[in-house]
Amino acid sequence: MMEHPIHLHGLWSELENGQGAYNPVKHTLIVQPGSKLSYLVSADTPGLWAYHCHLLYHMDLGMFRTVVVS
C-alpha cells in the first residue's frame, strides 16, 4: 500500500532498469507498492552495513537488517 525507500549503507546499488551503462547508481532505492526491483551490488567494502527501509515504523516491524561483507 506504500512505497519503501530501501537504503543499503556503505555500498552502491546499480538499479537494473534496462539502460545498460546508464543504469542509475544509488544508495537508496524506492520500491513501489506491489512491485519488485533488481539491482547489482559490488560487495567491495568489508564491514557490517545497515540495510533498511527509511520509514521508522517499518524498521520497528523488522525492515532493518545487517549485511556482512567479509
Which residues here bind Cu ion, judged by CB under 5 A?
A: 4, 53, 55, 58
Nearest to 2 by CA among 24, 37, 31, 29: 31
- Cβ-based nearer residue to Cu ion, 4 or 49: 4
- Cβ-based nearer residue to Cu ion, 26 or 58: 58
- Yes or no: say if 6 and 29 are a contact pair by the CB < 8 Å rule: yes
Question: How far, in Å, CA of 43 to CA of 65, rounded?
Answer: 16
- Rounded to a whole number of angstroms, the minimum distance from the CB of residue 11 to Cu ion is 19
- Cβ-based nearer residue to Cu ion, 55 or 67: 55
